[in-house]
Amino acid sequence: AANRMWGGRFAKGPSAVMEEINASIDFDRKLYAEDIRGSIAHAEMLEKQGILTTRDRDAIVEGLETIRSEIEAGSFAFSRRLEDIHMNIESRLADLIGPAAGRLHTARSRNDQVAVDFRLWVKAELERTEAGLAALVEAFLARAEEHADTVMPGFTHLQAAQPVTFGHHCMAYVEMFARDRSRVRDCIARMDESPLGAAALAGTGFPVDRHMTATALGFREPTRNSIDSVSDRDFALEYLSTASICATHLSRLAEEIVIWSTPQFGFVRLSDSFSTGSSIMPQKKNPDAAELVRAKTGRINGCLVALLTILKGLPLAYSKDMQEDKEQVFDAAESLGLAVAAMTGMVADMRVEVDAMRRAAGAGYTTATDLADWLVREANLPFREAHHVTGVAVALADDRGCDLADLPLAELRKINPAITQAVYDVLTVDASVASRSSYGGTAPSEVRRQIAAWRERL
Ligand code: ARG
């Protein structure tokens, strides 16, 4: 049979393959609440503008509310023949209230309908993301406070570089995730416009009040151009870009956790609730959650590239290609939500192995820069010369298999006679981190100041 919604010019229905490629109901049913909300706002506006009778409006609103309960109770029969969530709901409304259902679509098209539904969904998802990131930032602030004095090696090229504090390292992630959060807020601010009333693409001749529906749906204002309103998916692209950047941060953190939790590093121990065992090796405790966070990042990036590619060749205005926008966003949202939550749990629960971090902090001549800086300060050497002298000292220590601080003063003085006993004071990891009190530096005093400033800001 021909379609009930637009079958007028059709003699017969779609082939099975057409139905299969065309139907989006299996995934866009996720938009049911937004679709009903949008339709109620539309019906109320039509009534206020005298386009719909009060009786019809009441029947429509009541019918839509019944449908919402049916969907939430699991008793709604979704049909692929009806393509998508919009037509499934409208068709059920006709069953429930009869011909008045057919008046709901006055001054509206599925093009502005889906655009408004999807915007509402993405906006709510951005708000969920913001809340998730706030919890993650909070978890890091708590660990930073606890470990403002905990020394660990800082790395470049994954080679021990200079001692830092674990609190400082945590605060680096606070910066990153707080930026992600502000990107989320930027997305919301930019996408906070209602496309409803753009109709198919050209607007409508009915005296609609787009400001009224925009306000009813919680948008700041209506979109300004009807063609753009139904063509544009920037809000979805921005969501996916923001999600990809955030996932990239999560993935780098995940990689660090994977490395830190190896017995070879032993910097952290994941709680039982965020690790798994092996079915053959009884000793194993694997960081699966961190590995999956790392993998989800690939998936989220894929969603961004998929949607960019879907949109890149589309002429204005609506093309059915755009139906493929939803799965990318839904998939990324599920992945990102899980990744943020898993990471928050891991960070809050993991045991920080303070002694292992401290031992590693001093290994690999990490205070060599402190020796060079001392020579600049106390012996007035140019930094390049101090660097060379220190290099010779490191080579000597390396030869003897000892730390810089274990080299006898006499040996150091052979390398440069300006060196005195006082140099040993700067060769400890504690002295090293305490000295780096420049703005944004790793000194515990500075890290505490950064923490307090963030607490103030949040
Ligand atoms: N299911 C469609 C989508 O997700 C709804 C819009 C259909 N519009 C149309 N002109 N065929 O994009």
Q: Does residue 353 carry a pLDDT above 70? A: yes
pLDDT at 45 (0 to 100): 98
For a mutational test of ligand 1's pocket, the pick from 18, 111, 117, 326, i.e. the residue with the most ligand atoms closer than 8 A to its C-beta, is 111
For a mutational test of ligand 1's pocket, the pick from 21, 34, 84, 314, i.e. the residue with the most ligand atoms closer than 8 A to its C-beta, is 84
pLDDT at 273 (0 to 100): 85
pLDDT at 38 (0 to 100): 98
Quote the pTM value: 0.94
pLDDT at 1 (0 to 100): 57
Q: Which residue has the tokens 């943020």?
A: 340
pLDDT at 56 (0 to 100): 98
User: How many Cβ atoms sit within 10 Å of the Cβ of residue 198?
Assistant: 30
pLDDT at 278 (0 to 100): 77
pLDDT at 7 (0 to 100): 78
Q: Is the CB of 114 under 6 A from ligand 1?
A: yes
Across the range 168-183, mean pLDDT stands at 98
Rounded to the nearest angstrom, the distance between the alpha carbon of 302 and the centre of ligand 1 is 23
- In the set 15, 69, 79, 278, the catalytic residue is 278
Q: Is the CB of 24 under 6 A from ligand 1?
A: yes
How far apart, in whole angstroms, are the C-alpha atoms of residue 88 and residue 82?
6
Ligand 1: residue whose CA is nearest its atom 7? 110
Q: Is the CB of 320 under 6 A from ligand 1?
A: yes
Q: Is the CB of 318 under 6 A from ligand 1?
A: yes
- In the set 75, 157, 273, 279, the catalytic residue is 157
Q: Does residue 177 carry a pLDDT above 60? A: yes
Ligand 1: residue whose CA is nearest its atom 11? 320
Per-residue burial over 239-252, b if 16 or more Cβ lie within 10 Å, else e, is bbbbbbbbbebbbe
Residues 6+ apart with CB under 8 A from 224: 193
Element (H, E) at 268: strand 268-269
For a mutational test of ligand 1's pocket, the pick from 5, 80, 110, i.e. the residue with the most ligand atoms closer than 8 A to its C-beta, is 110
Catalytic (active site) residue 211: no
Residues 8-37: pLDDT tens digits?
888 888 889 999 999 999 999 999 999 999
Mean pLDDT score of the chain, rounded to an integer?
Answer: 96
User: How many Cβ atoms sit within 10 Å of the Cβ of residue 10?
Assistant: 11
Listing DSSP states for 59-84 in one string gives HHHHHHHHHHHHHHHT-----GGG-S
Across the range 294-302, mean pLDDT stands at 98
pLDDT at 13 (0 to 100): 84
How far apart, in whole angstroms, are the C-alpha atoms of residue 54 and residue 44?
9
Asked which of 65-74, 86-95, 276-285, 351-360 is least confident by mean pLDDT, the reply is 276-285
Phi and psi angles of residue 446, each rounded to the nearest 5 degrees, phi first: -75, -40
Q: Is the CB of 180 under 6 A from ligand 1?
A: no
| Atom of ligand 1 minimally distant from the CA of 83 | 1
Ligand 1: residue whose CA is nearest its atom 12? 323
Catalytic (active site) residue 278: yes
Confidence bin at 274 (pLDDT 50/70/90): confident
Residues 6+ apart with CB under 8 A from 129: 184, 242, 243, 246, 333, 336, 337, 340
Confidence bin at 40 (pLDDT 50/70/90): very high
| Atom of ligand 1 minimally distant from the CA of 200 | 10
Ligand 1: residue whose CA is nearest its atom 4? 323
Residues 387-406: pLDDT tens digits?
999 999 999 999 999 999 99
